Amino acid sequence: MIARPVRSTLTPKAWPLVEKWVLAALKRGKANQTVAEIKDALATKSMQLWLAWDGERAKGCCITELYDSAQGKTCNLVVVAGIQFKRWQPLTETIKAWARENDCTRLEASGRPGWERMAAKDGWAKIRTTVEVRL
């Protein structure tokens, strides 16, 4: 299993492999972004698509974005989704290395509460909580 970055020119070809996972992750995580917004960001290269590839097919995906923050340049994991996550969770090391190569000083991710427990095994620490009230 490898983490394979998808060149922006190939994103439209790879998108059908991950679209259902992205949609499910955004819905379950109550994300502020839509699938269309994510797809547009990939097309404009403001986000990057990664595949968890087993040599024959995608088992998952990660969508990243780089941005400057008060805490330093950040690589944000916008979406992490797929099947058999425990098999490809270690592939985040590849993304960490890529983020370092791009002068990032930190990785960031937001999501549903279940991710906190799973990510803690890889050294992630909770830094904030997001709550809302519907009006």
Q: Is residue 134, in this structure, part of any structural domain at all? A: no
Query: For the segment 41-90, what is each residue's pLDDT rounded down to a tens digit?
Result: 999 999 999 999 998 999 999 999 999 999 899 999 999 999 988 888 88
Q: Is residue 126, in this structure, part of any structural domain at all? A: no
Q: Which domain does 57 fall in, by range? A: 2-120
Q: Is residue 128, in this structure, part of any structural domain at all? A: no
Number of domains in the chain: 1
Q: Is residue 96, in this structure, part of any structural domain at all? A: yes
17, pLDDT greater than 80: yes
Q: Is residue 26, in this structure, part of any structural domain at all? A: yes
Q: Is residue 131, in this structure, part of any structural domain at all? A: no
Q: Is residue 125, in this structure, part of any structural domain at all? A: no
CA distances 113 to 53, 95, 110, 119, 129, Å, are 26, 22, 9, 10, 9
Q: What is the pLDDT of residue 134?
A: 61
Q: What is the CATH number of the domain that holds 28?
A: 3.40.630.30
pTM for the whole structure: 0.88
- As a residue count, the chain comes to 135
Q: Is residue 36, in this structure, part of any structural domain at all? A: yes
Q: In whole angstroms, what separates CA 80 from the centre of its chain?
A: 4
31, pLDDT greater than 70: yes
